[in-house]
Amino acid sequence: MDWILWVLGILAVLWVIGSVSQAGKGTDRKAKPRKPKAKLAEQEEHSKPIPGRRVGYKVDQNINAANMTTIWAGDCPHIEFTSNGNRFSAMPEEVLHNPENGKLYLRAYFPHEQETHIFRLSSLETKILMRSKRYTQEEWLRKVIGDELYNSVVQDC
């Protein structure tokens, strides 16, 4: 019977401590409403980094675009892809060709970082997502720069 009184005493002390700590926070005991987390589909397109993307991650910093030839420049819909284990969301600006190594590169603008980066197209690990459709690198290049230009570039590479 003594242990029951002892437990009741501890519970009473804990209740008093809880009441005192709540009194310091104000008289309103209602929980503050939390801001709902916006779902990715509800966010404005291109406004936020893709979840899991390392912020500030610099891509192919050693690429010198001065030695490259622009084979296409223009407007293209927003794309998403994975490179070096990171998911990227970008607006393509140019497709470049490096005559020294024969590789194709993509210069793209990242709205959430407000920076432009250059990727070697062969470093892309996944298909390119554009307008809810996934394209291989070849399919995407043919769609963006056209079959005729693509065929002439591939023959030169």
Domains along the chain with CATH numbers: 67-156 (2.30.30)
pLDDT given for residue 1 in this prediction: 67
pLDDT digits (tens, 9 = 90+) for 119-147: 899 889 999 999 999 999 999 999 988 88
pLDDT at 32 over 80: no
Exposure on the CB side of residue 31, measured as CA atoms within 13 A: 3
Q: Is the pTM of this model over 0.75?
A: no
Question: Among 42, 44, 40, which Cα is nearest to 87's?
Answer: 40
Work out the average pLDDT over 48-72: 60
Work out the average pLDDT over 14-23: 74
Work out the average pLDDT over 77-98: 91
pLDDT given for residue 157 in this prediction: 57
CA 106 to chain centre: 17
Question: Among 150, 156, 44, 140, which Cα is nearest to 92's?
Answer: 140
pLDDT digits (tens, 9 = 90+) for 4-14: 878 788 888 88
User: Mean pLDDT of all residues in the chain?
Assistant: 76
